[in-house]
C-alpha cells in the first residue's frame, strides 16, 4: 500500500478563500450546513425485470478477513468545528496531501490538511452562476461520492448524486487551481436511468453511496459505483448491495455529450456488475457507505449496518466495517472497533486512503462520541 503510484491521479488545490453565498435560512446555526429534508417517497422508478434478476448468479459471499481494524488517532480533536461539519460528510478523496470532503446537504467542498488539520471551504456557485454551471434555478447540489481523476485537460474532481430522485441524478466536475473554480454540473438522467434499469443493481431504490477510481493491471481506468441496498425491496428478492463499473474515458465522453444535451444516449457501457452479501452486524445487513481505489487496483470500502425503513430515512446504526474487494471481486470485511475493543456504533459515512497507505474514515456520532475524522489502525494483511 505504501508508495506513490504514478497512475494515481493528482489534484491541484486552490488557495482562494470563497465566501459563503447559501442563504442563511437554509443553514443550521452551528455548522452552516443546510437542514436535512426528508426524502420524497416517489422515486419515479422503472419496473424491475424479475426474469433478468432471477437469471443472475447469487450475491457473492465474503471471504475470510486476515486483518483487524481499530479506530486510531482522532484528527478532529484540535478542530471541533470540523467535527460539526462531519455530521453531513458523505464522501472523501485524497489528492496531493489534501483530504477533500463533500457534504450531502451543503454546496461546498472542504479541503483538509491531515497533518495539521488546517481546513478551508470552497463554496460552489449559486445565484446567477447556476445557469452557467448547468443547474436549474433554485436547484441545490446533493453529493454522495467523490473521486479525484483526470481527463485531457488535467486533474479534476468528479462527484456523484445518489440518483434516488430525479433532482439528484447529476454528476459534478470541479477543477480548483490558480485562484479560480471551474465547475460543470451535468444532469445525467440517462446514466442514472441505466443504473436504475440494470438487472441486479437497484434491488431497492437506487442509492449510489460510493465511487472509486480503479486502474486494473493492463486495463483502462474505470469508475466503480457502489449501490447500497438498504431500502425496501423493489421486487420479489431481498435488496442487496452491488457494484458496477464504467470506463473512465467512456464516462467522460458521455458527460460531455450530456452537458450539451441532457437526453444524450448512454449506450451499454455499464459492466462488471457484482452483487454482495457483506455480512451482518447487530442483526442488520451491512451495505456500502463509501469506497476508494487502492494503488494496486483493489477497492477499499466502508460499510454500515443501519436499520432503515427505506432509502433516505435515517435509522439506528448497529456497526461499521472496513472491507476490501480483490481483483477477482471477492470481499473481505472486518468490523471497525473502538480502542476498548468493542465494535464502533458510529456510522462510517466516508472513506479514503492516502499515498502512504493511511486510511481515513469520517465517523458520525455514536457510542457517546462526537462526529470525528479518524485514521484507522489496521493489523494483518489487508
What is the tally of structural domains in the chain? Answer: 1
* pLDDT in the model for residue 30: 39
**DSSP code per residue over 91-118:** EEEEETTEEEEEETTEEEEEEE-TTT--
* Distance (Å, whole) CA 244 – CA 225: 6
* 32-76 pLDDT per residue, tens: 333 333 333 345 677 888 899 889 999 999 999 999 999 999 988
Supply the CATH number for residue 328's domain. 2.120.10
Q: Which residues constitute the domain of residue 212?
A: 59-381
* Distance (Å, whole) CA 338 – CA 5: 31
Cell numbers at residue 311, please? 432509502
The reported pTM is 0.86
* 234-273 pLDDT per residue, tens: 888 889 999 999 999 999 999 999 988 888 888 789 999 9
Has residue 42 been placed in a domain? no
Residues 6+ apart with CB under 8 A from 64: 332
Spatial contact of 112 and 350, defined as CB atoms under 8 Å apart: no
Regarding predicted confidence, which is higher, 144 or 312? 144
* pLDDT in the model for residue 369: 79
Has residue 104 been placed in a domain? yes
* 318-373 pLDDT per residue, tens: 999 999 999 999 999 999 999 999 999 999 999 999 989 999 999 988 777 788 99
Name the percent of the chain lying above pLDDT 90.
49
Has residue 26 been placed in a domain? no
Cβ burial of 285 (10 Å; 0-12, 13-18, 19+) is buried
3-state class (DSSP) for residue 319: strand
* Distance (Å, whole) CA 161 – CA 116: 30
* pLDDT in the model for residue 139: 54
Buried b (16+ CB within 10 A) or exposed e, 178-213: eeebebbbbbbbbbbbbbbbbbbbbbbbbbbbbbbb
Has residue 15 been placed in a domain? no
Whole-angstrom CA distances from 304 to 3, 310, 335 are: 29, 15, 10
* Distance (Å, whole) CA 234 – CA 320: 25
* 266-289 pLDDT per residue, tens: 878 999 999 999 999 999 999 999
307 pLDDT above the threshold of 60: yes
Has residue 200 been placed in a domain? yes
Angle between helices 189-197 and 248-260 (to 10 degrees): 130
Q: What is the mean pLDDT of the chain?
A: 82
Has residue 183 been placed in a domain? yes
Has residue 44 been placed in a domain? no
Other CB atoms within 10 A of residue 103 CB = 26
Spatial contact of 334 and 348, defined as CB atoms under 8 Å apart: no
Has residue 311 been placed in a domain? yes
Amino acid at each position: 500500500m505504501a508508495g506513490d503510484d504514478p497512475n494515481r491521479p493528482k489534484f491541484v488545490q486552490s488557495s482562494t478563500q470563497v465566501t459563503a453565498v447559501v442563504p442563511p435560512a437554509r443553514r443550521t446555526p452551528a455548522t452552516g450546513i443546510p437542514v436535512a429534508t426528508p426524502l420524497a417517497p416517489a422515486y419515479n422508478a422503472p419496473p424491475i425485470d424479475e426474469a433478468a434478476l432471477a437469471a443472475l448468479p447469487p450475491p457473492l459471499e465474503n471471504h475470510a478477513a486476515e486483518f483487524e481494524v481499530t479506530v486510531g488517532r482522532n484528527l478532529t480533536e484540535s478542530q471541533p468545528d470540523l467535527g460539526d461539519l462531519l455530521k453531513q460528510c458523505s464522501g472523501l478523496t485524497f489528492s496531493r496531501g489534501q483530504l477533500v470532503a463533500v457534504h450531502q446537504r451543503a454546496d461546498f467542498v472542504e479541503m483538509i490538511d491531515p497533518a495539521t488539520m488546517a481546513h478551508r471551504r470552497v463554496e460552489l456557485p449559486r445565484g446567477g452562476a447556476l445557469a452557467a454551471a448547468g443547474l436549474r434555478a433554485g436547484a441545490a447540489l446533493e453529493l454522495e461520492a467523490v473521486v479525484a481523476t483526470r481527463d485531457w485537460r488535467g486533474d479534476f474532481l468528479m462527484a456523484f448524486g445518489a440518483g434516488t430522485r430525479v433532482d439528484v441524478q447529476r454528476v459534478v466536475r470541479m477543477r480548483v487551481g490558480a485562484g479560480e473554480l471551474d465547475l460543470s454540473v451535468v444532469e445525467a438522467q440517462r446514466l442514472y436511468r441505466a443504473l436504475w434499469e440494470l438487472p441486479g443493481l437497484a434491488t431497492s431504490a437506487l442509492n449510489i453511496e460510493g465511487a472509486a477510481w480503479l486502474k486494473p493491471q493492463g486495463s483502462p481506468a474505470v469508475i466503480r459505483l457502489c449501490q447500497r441496498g438498504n431500502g425496501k425491496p423493489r421486487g420479489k428478492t431481498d435488496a442487496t448491495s452491488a457494484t458496477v463499473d464504467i470506463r473512465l474515458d467512456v464516462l467522460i465522453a458521455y458527460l460531455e455529450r450530456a452537458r450539451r444535451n441532457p437526453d444524450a444516449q448512454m449506450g451499454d457501457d455499464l459492466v462488471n456488475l457484482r452483487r454482495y452479501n457483506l455480512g451482518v452486524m447487530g442483526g442488520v445487513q451491512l451495505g456500502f457507505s463509501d469506497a476508494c481505489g487502492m494503488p494496486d487496483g483493489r477497492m477499499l470500502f466502508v460499510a454500515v449496518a443501519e436499520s432503515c425503513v427505506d432509502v433516505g430515512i435515517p435509522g439506528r446504526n448497529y456497526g461499521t466495517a472496513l472491507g476490501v474487494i480483490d481483483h477477482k471481486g471477492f470481499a473481505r470485511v472486518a468490523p471497525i472497533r473502538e480502542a476498548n475493543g468493542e465494535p464502533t456504533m458510529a456510522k462510517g459515512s466516508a472513506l479514503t486512503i492516502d499515498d502512504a497507505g493511511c486510511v481515513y474514515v469520517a465517523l458520525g456520532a455514536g457510542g457517546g462520541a462526537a462526529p470525528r475524522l479518524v485514521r484507522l489502525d489496521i493489523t494483518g494483511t489487508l
